[in-house]
Amino acid sequence: MPLHAVKVFVTPRRGILDPQGRTIESSLKSLGFKGVANVNVGKYITLEIDAPNAAAARGEARKMCAQLLANPVIEDFAFEVEGE
């Protein structure tokens, strides 16, 4: 089966406190970047999935995100499967 490259983006849900994001936002403002707001820090994960097609890889990626890569209580996730 072919390998399908997958990019996963995990971010805090809206309304969830993100202390790291707030620290970065404050630091950027202190450096003169006054137009910065709502900074969130997340995770970027790349992986390859051995699957017969992109649709099957997409299904596997969704399961991986829901079961391990993201905490569904406090994080949202999105992903891209190369070749779709």
- Count of domains in the chain? 1
Alpha carbons within 13 angstroms on the beta-carbon side of residue 31 total 8
The band of 51, judged by pLDDT with boundaries at 50, 70 and 90, is very high
pTM to 2 decimals?
0.86
Q: What percent of the chain has pLDDT over 90?
A: 94
CATH assignment at residue 63: 3.30.1280.10
The band of 61, judged by pLDDT with boundaries at 50, 70 and 90, is very high
Q: Look up the domain containing 67 and give its range.
A: 3-81
Q: Are 62 and 27 in contact (CB under 8 A)?
A: no
Mean pLDDT of the chain: 96
Task: Please report the beta strands in 1-74, taking only residues with DSSP state E, as ranges in sequence order.
Answer: 3-12, 43-50
Please provide the size of the chain in residues.
Answer: 84
pLDDT at 1: 81
pLDDT at residue 64 above 90? yes
